[in-house]
Amino acid sequence: MTPARPTPAPPPPVPLRTERLELRYLRDADADELLRYYGRADTTRYLLDGPWDAAKARDEVGRRQGRLHITAAGFAVCLVVVEPDAQGGRAVVGDITLWAVDDSLSLGEISWVFDPAAGGRGLANEAARAVLDLAFGHYGMHRVRVRMDARNAASARLCERLGFRREGLLRQDWLIKEEWTDTLVYGMLAPEWPGAAAVEGPPPAQAGPR
């Protein structure tokens, strides 16, 4: 059994950088960027709330600006994913949140929402890998899960491409937009994440033949 973490990890090394992307903390000015995709019914179809309006975007961005580090159950790291644009600036293409499910800080959950205009290029995949590195590498988590509306095929495909295992289907356990919906649960354990070998330590000594 993996013991509970005795002390919280140091603050995460944000911004995270990948080949094409930067994952950084939210700023006030991101409200308009997030509204661009959270304002769409197709993007929020399987989310608990949405589409957002401008006031909701400001509230959410304000709330998420305080989610910087995981030091207790329910605490989260909220990041926007930005990509260089043609004008030499950076455009927000999505956002990802990692939070601790309980006091052990060893059980994490991830959620992701990306602008459909940036879809189909593997950007969510690339950003999620950086966040899995954060979960298993920086925070030393033991397990990360993703829960989604069972009809959310794009999110399920993303989990499978990342190497999550499909673990179960909970029947009608979420009320999404006034409809009881089934939830798909995907999970990944630390040894299943390729980047986690150094964090988990060497494999146990080879046992003799039984």
Contact residues for ligand COA, defined by CB under 6 A: 43, 46-47, 111-114, 119-125, 146, 148, 152, 154-155, 157-158, 161
What span, in angstroms and rounded, lies between the C-alpha atoms of 92 and 58? 15
Residue 54: count other Cβ atoms within 10 Å of its Cβ.
11
Using CB positions, name the residue nearest to ligand COA: 122
Task: Kindly tell me which of 72 and 117 has the beta carbon lying closer to ligand COA.
Answer: 117
Partner residues linked to 94 by β-bridges: 81, 114
Task: Kindly tell me which of 94 and 137 has the beta carbon lying closer to ligand COA.
Answer: 94
Task: Kindly tell me which of 2 and 111 has the beta carbon lying closer to ligand COA.
Answer: 111
CB of 29 to ligand COA, least distance (A): 21
CB of 5 to ligand COA, least distance (A): 25
Both tokens assigned to 149: 């509306």
Nearest to 13 by CA among 68, 90, 82: 68
CB of 205 to ligand COA, least distance (A): 37
Task: Kindly tell me which of 155 and 181 has the beta carbon lying closer to ligand COA.
Answer: 155
| DSSP 8-state class, residue 41 | T
Nearest to 113 by CA among 89, 67, 80, 159: 80
CB of 105 to ligand COA, least distance (A): 21
Residue 86: count other Cβ atoms within 10 Å of its Cβ.
6
